[in-house]
Amino acid sequence: MNQIQILARFAESFMNPPKWEAILKQSAKAMDMLLAGNGAGSEYLGWVNLPSGITNEELVRIEKTAERIRNQSEYLVVVGIGGSYLGARAVIESVCNPFDSYRTEKSKTKILYAGHHLDPDYHRDLLDFLAEKEFSVNVISKSGTTTEPAVAFRLLIDLLEKKYGKDGTKSRVIATTDSTKGALKKFSDEYGFETYVIPDDVGGRYSVLTPVGLIPIAVSGANIRALVSGAQAMQKVLTEEKDPSKNLACRYASLRNTLYLTGKKIEILVNYNPALHFVAEWWKQLYGESEGKGKKGIFPASVDLTTDLHSMGQYLQDGERTIFETVIRVETTKRDIELTARDGDVDGLNYLAGKSLSWVGSKATLGTLVAHTDGSVPCIEIVIPKLDEENIGALLYFFEFACGVSGYILGVNPFDQPGVEDYKNNMFALLGKKGYEDRKDDIEKKI
């Protein structure tokens, strides 16, 4: 695997050198805290050494489960919310063919998603669609009581039992949950589902390299061994390089936090590859949930370019200057297309004859970087060699490690999410869940 690069050529002019040097030193201390496990949230650092700890036996078991699902089902419905599905979806949509419903040559099973919202139309349409299809379910929840996935799973298991009976349903559900406790664990044991464990020391948004992500990724036909190999290589690179100016994660964390100190409060993750859309969605959860605490933190947003240049482009170029961009740039394409000349040149494109579409795209990327920098938007570049499992595994682990470093620089616990519980508790109260009666009275006074 070629090295991922962090380039700051379109951000350097916006940097305050003394602040940059100070933040770099802080990043080294933050990295030491992460590796020593003596910072806030240290009980959730299992992901740091996770790639190197994945065994062949674990991968073999996951591959066998995936093969069984592919042999019996046209569709796998992944039931989860947040980190319980975003990591898997990010990988699957990065490396699979979008014009075959994210199938690969290795798999005829399509991946569908449920439990990531409460829209009745979506779930009704999904149930109607699956009624005459062969399908299985991978339900992912630590507790089994998170409302969105719990509701979706109840709907799906009702359909499974109607189609296959209880015995047939048993072989069509894989539960990824707690090792010993929780409603889903209890239900799975009673029913006899195959179960996989969500490690106690790995939070949901850091869980893509656990069975949470690896099972659906394997079912899709993507190469989980290459994915893990890329993450292992990046783990080695980041944990062995102690110079923060050379460490990729420290550089990225320091760049974004230095820009934050200069008033750049919003980071926009930019991609020029539609396949990276859900990498951005995963990244937004990772950074938003990890850093948005104590009334501080960089707000993570994303755009898909060049598409969004024709909708968000005006604001990016000329709106309020509180933003900076992090651009994911892919060096090589899987299959390129050469443009040809046409008689008459009606569309005026003959000047591009003989040029590849990737070459045209690269000039659009560079032109945009220069325009946005001229418009006072700093741009960080993350360059990856190509879109494949190995490089995506490296990229995801890089973002995780950099997030831990960045959170410690910011002075927050990057591994909890206390604010998320507020909406859940209010929702439980309004739904009439037992034990939330007092909260319901308080809420009803405000609405």
User: Does residue 421 sit within a domain?
Assistant: no
Q: What is the pLDDT of residue 108?
A: 83
pTM (two decimals): 0.94
Helical residues (DSSP H) of 263-375, grouped into ranges:
277-291, 313-318, 357-374
Shared domain for 341 and 261, answered yes or no, is yes
- Last residue within a domain, chosen from 225, 260, 281: 225
Range of the domain at 302: 5-41+227-410
Grade residue 442 by pLDDT with cuts at 50, 70 and 90. Answer: confident
Residues marked active site are found at: 289, 310, 424
Q: What is the pLDDT of residue 356?
A: 96
CATH of the domain at 233: 3.40.50.10490
Q: How many domains does the chain have?
A: 2
Q: What is the pLDDT of residue 311?
A: 95
- Residue 334 pLDDT > 90: no
Overall average pLDDT of the 17-40 stretch: 96
Percentage helix, strand, coil for the chain under 3-state DSSP, each rounded to 5: 55, 15, 30
User: Does residue 81 sit within a domain?
Assistant: yes
- Last residue within a domain, chosen from 225, 246, 267: 225
User: Does residue 422 sit within a domain?
Assistant: no
* Percent of the chain scoring above 70 in pLDDT: 97
Shared domain for 299 and 324, answered yes or no, is yes
User: Does residue 400 sit within a domain?
Assistant: yes
Lateral strand order in the sheet of 135-140: 110-114, 75-79, 135-140, 173-177, 194-197
Grade residue 100 by pLDDT with cuts at 50, 70 and 90. Answer: low
Q: Give, in order, the Cα–Cα distances in Å from 269 to each of 65, 274, 277, 280.
A: 35, 13, 10, 7
Q: What is the pLDDT of residue 169?
A: 96
Backbone CA torsion sign across 94, 96, 102, 108: negative
Quote the DSSP letter at residue 201: T
Residues forming a β-bridge with 177:
197
Shared domain for 96 and 206, answered yes or no, is yes
Q: Is the peptide bond before 306 cis (omega within 30 degrees of 0)?
A: yes
Asked if 301 and 360 count as a contact pair (C-beta separation under 8 A), the reply is no
Q: What CA–CA distance (Å, rounded) separates 87 from 107? A: 19
Shared domain for 262 and 287, answered yes or no, is yes
Shared domain for 29 and 102, answered yes or no, is no
User: Does residue 437 sit within a domain?
Assistant: no
Tens-place pLDDT, residues 234-257: 999 999 999 999 999 999 999 999
- Residue 103 pLDDT > 60: no
User: Does residue 151 sit within a domain?
Assistant: yes
Shared domain for 120 and 267, answered yes or no, is no
Grade residue 98 by pLDDT with cuts at 50, 70 and 90. Answer: confident
User: Does residue 440 sit within a domain?
Assistant: no
Token code pair at residue 409? 């620089």
DSSP 3-state of 265: coil
User: Does residue 128 sit within a domain?
Assistant: yes
Q: What is the pLDDT of residue 327?
A: 98
Shared domain for 295 and 362, answered yes or no, is yes
Shared domain for 195 and 322, answered yes or no, is no
Shared domain for 219 and 241, answered yes or no, is no
Q: What CA–CA distance (Å, rounded) separates 371 from 377? A: 9
Shared domain for 74 and 211, answered yes or no, is yes
Length of the chain: 447
Pairing between β-strand 379-384 and β-strand 5-10 as defined by DSSP bridges = antiparallel
- Last residue within a domain, chosen from 225, 259, 286: 225
258-269 burial: b if 16+ Cβ within 10 Å, else e: bbbeeebeebbb
Mean pLDDT, rounded, of the chain: 94
DSSP 3-state of 244: coil
